[in-house]
Amino acid sequence: MNQTEKMANIQPVRLGLDSTFTFRCHKGVSCFTKCCRGINIVLTPYDIIRLKNRLQLSSDEFLAIYTKPQLFQDTDLPLVTLRLLDDEQESCPFVRDAEGCIIYEDRPTNCRYYPLGVASLAHKEGADDEGFYFFVNEPHCKGFEEEKDWTVREWRRDQGVDIHDEINSGWTDLIVRKRSFPANIKLTEKSKHLFFMVSYNIDKFKQFVFESSFLKRYDIAADVVEKIKTDEIELLKFGLDWLRDTLFDYRNFEVDPEKQTVSVRQKG
């Protein structure tokens, strides 16, 4: 049984931003790097941008070398997870026994949250839904025995996940929206391809925007065009807003009553 399977058997505790817990991880704990083995790390759009830039790879190269395609549970949306090493422990490719994480400053959001996780509720227009947090005390982890107290709010700020969550918020909202769709409503393959491109292949999305008829079909302010031309984070946010307005707005849906798939009415 790997770590992910073990975690599934542990009852999580629901937390708020001001809930407290005790935890500290460092090289001195006997379980150092054990949490980096046998895990399932979902990569967010911002994770991929940071990692591919850290490794000086294109989006295509990073996706091919370091990721595995999967589907989100309860949706038909594509996601990517970190490809683990084919060793006995199924190790993260960026972890070393003595050094720990060699890309620590650019580590994924899931790694930053540990030992916390974040969950989102069903989407409802106008709702004040920020999801909730959970804390799982894994038996093997000695970090829980360290005398360092945190609130969830303090931990998020210290680990930088508050910034990650802000940048990824548009993407998270799309996933929550899709989870709220009727179960028999599916996106077309073309729609899922667009979701994948915007979410995980920022290089290809940039080509799509600037090397096609995209800017002729959509009325985009000149200052926005200049901003997204040079800033990948702004381009990502722009792309997620575009996806929300084209793929995830019921007013733009055309449903095939026989196949129960959703296509998008093209604008412009």
Tell me if the bond preceding 115 is cis, omega within 30° of 0. yes
Looking at the structure, tell me whether residues 204 and 159 fall in a common domain.
no
Q: What is the structure's pLDDT at 232?
A: 98
Query: Which of residues 128, 150, 174 is at a domain's end?
Result: 174
> What is the Cα–Cα distance from 266 to 177, expressed in whole angstroms?
20
Q: Record the pTM.
A: 0.86
Looking at the structure, tell me whether residues 26 and 119 fall in a common domain.
yes
Q: What is the per-residue pLDDT across 7-62, written as a single tens digit (0 to 9) for each?
A: 444 556 789 999 999 999 999 999 999 999 999 999 999 999 999 999 999 999 99
**Domain presence at residue 179:** no
Query: Residue 111 class from Cβ within 10 Å (0-12 exposed, 13-18 middle, 19+ buried)?
Result: buried
Looking at the structure, tell me whether residues 155 and 34 fall in a common domain.
yes
Quote the number of domains for the chain: 2
Angle at 236 (CA atoms; ends 262, 4), nearest 5 degrees? 75
Place 184 in a pLDDT band, splitting at 50, 70 and 90.
confident
Looking at the structure, tell me whether residues 166 and 188 fall in a common domain.
no
Looking at the structure, tell me whether residues 146 and 194 fall in a common domain.
no
Looking at the structure, tell me whether residues 76 and 21 fall in a common domain.
yes
With tokens 């381009």, the residue in question is 235
Q: What is the structure's pLDDT at 247?
A: 80
Q: What is the per-residue pLDDT across 55-104, written as a single tens digit (0 to 9) for each?
A: 999 999 999 999 999 988 778 899 999 999 999 899 999 999 889 999 99
Looking at the structure, tell me whether residues 32 and 164 fall in a common domain.
yes
Stretch 163-181: mean pLDDT: 91
Query: Which of residues 121, 144, 174 is at a domain's end?
Result: 174
> What is the Cα–Cα distance from 174 to 243, expressed in whole angstroms?
8
The phi-psi region of residue 265 (left if phi > 0; otherwise alpha if psi is between -120 and 50; otherwise beta) is beta
Indicate the angle between helix axes 45-54 and 189-200, nearest 10 degrees: 50
- Among 62, 117, 40, smallest CA distance to 232 is for 62
Residues counted in the chain: 268
Looking at the structure, tell me whether residues 73 and 50 fall in a common domain.
yes
> What is the Cα–Cα distance from 148 to 158, expressed in whole angstroms?
13
Residue 108 has pLDDT above 90, yes or no: yes
Looking at the structure, tell me whether residues 153 and 200 fall in a common domain.
no
Looking at the structure, tell me whether residues 167 and 210 fall in a common domain.
no
Q: What is the structure's pLDDT at 8?
A: 45
Residue 251 pairs in a beta bridge with: none
Q: What is the structure's pLDDT at 263?
A: 52
Angle at 41 (CA atoms; ends 37, 42), nearest 5 degrees? 170
Query: Which of residues 174, 198, 229 is at a domain's end?
Result: 174
**Domain presence at residue 16:** yes
Average pLDDT of the chain to the nearest whole number: 85
* Domain range enclosing 249: 184-264
